[in-house]
Amino acid sequence: MALRIVASRPDPAILTLPWDQPLQEWTEHVVPLPRGLSRHVVRIVRLGDQVYAVKETQEAIAFREYRLLRDLQRLDLPAVVPQAVVAGRSQDLPAALVTRHLRFSLPYRSVFEHGLPADQVPSLVDALVVLLVRLHLADFYWGDVSLSNVLFRRDAGGFAAYLVDAETGELRQTLSSQLREYDVTVGTENVYAELLDLMASGVGGIDPGAVVTMLRERYDQLWTELTATEVFSSGESWRIEERIEQLNDLGFDVEEIDIVTDVDGDRIQLQPRVVELGHHARELRNLTGLVVQDAQARRMLNDIAAFTTSRGLGRLDRAEVAQRWLREIYEPLQAMVPAELRGKLEPAEVFHEVLVHRWYLSEQAGRSVRFLDAARSYVDNVLRQKPDEAVATEPADQPEVSGT
């Protein structure tokens, strides 16, 4: 067997996998982690501290998807990270695409099977919508929008979505409105069928028709908010800053705006040209070094603001206050979580849930409960009861500050 392995960051351990066997016969290194439905044979394997997803497919398709995922990575778009393509397997076995498994991620079936409340279904839809809009803003045509082709991570009580299957995708010079519409239509059809399948398997509390209607409406709303042209008089130039603040509130940074005035300068036409999700996440990273999802970051920034007020630190530099918050609030919370519980939720989501738990405890007590007291209560009474969502356990002495 003359293997050919093309890898972005070679991991010699990949050579130890039984490439001379069909993927469906693998038992060694395979871990029983949740995975979504796929038209291909897929196995999740652990090699040392690393966890990978391995998918069998045709060689040309494997190389094409590998390169496309690398392009998406360079564009900083939410997708799984490609690790390698393995070709030249014996017995005419198909090639394999190897990607790094996204830690603390879940396929949609696992999200529902973990007991997704009906009032959180819109959060799942919003995550898929944000992912699709971000891809379209980058002129990426997906071609097979579906819940099965996405992995979800919890994000301050909501979700963030990551593309996991780019086999039908294509980065284009310009994405036409017709292709965008086709992607949305395919997405509604696929999601409707997937939700019907969930219902047939015994998952209740779902209205597929309402969900796909919501998907289309929210996509149209977000796309319009991010791309619509706004016209106003020259005396209303303050609306430029207002538009930017509105997009920041949605979590998007505006890197470029197209502003055109008429001949007399009486009318101004404004259109955002380059927008990118992650406004709050970048701000938090600059202040603290923490790398988290955007909604988690927004929650933390709000807590830093409350910390500033409650401690009377308003005269200090914001970065100095953020570092103090990190030492006095965030790091002591993470130190409270025993090693055996660190696979339950990622650290930033634990922080969010402690804030929610603190609110409930304070309401019950009729007074404000101290944060660290709420944290102890949460770890002992809530976190222990949750299922593990980590796909790979970090070494116990590895710091949690710098992310995924």
In angstroms, rounded to a whole number, what is the distance separating the alpha carbons of residues 163 and 105? 11
End-to-end CA distance of the chain: 36
264: pLDDT strictly greater than 80 = no
pLDDT for 400: 33
pLDDT for 35: 53
Q: pLDDT class for 233, splitting at 50, 70, 90?
A: confident
Output the CA torsion 337→340→345→349 (10° steps): 10
pLDDT for 34: 56
The model's pTM: 0.80
The secondary structure of 241-300 as a DSSP string is HHHHHHHHHTTEEEEEEEEEE-TTS-EEEEEEEEEEE-HHHHHHHHHH-----HHHHHHH
pLDDT for 187: 96
Q: pLDDT class for 397, splitting at 50, 70, 90?
A: very low
Q: Which domains does the chain have, with CATH numbers?
A: 4-100 (3.30.200), 108-227 (1.10.510), 230-277 (no CATH), 280-385 (no CATH)
332 phi, psi to nearest 5 deg? -60, -35
Instruction: Provide mean pLDDT across the span 371-389.
Output: 89
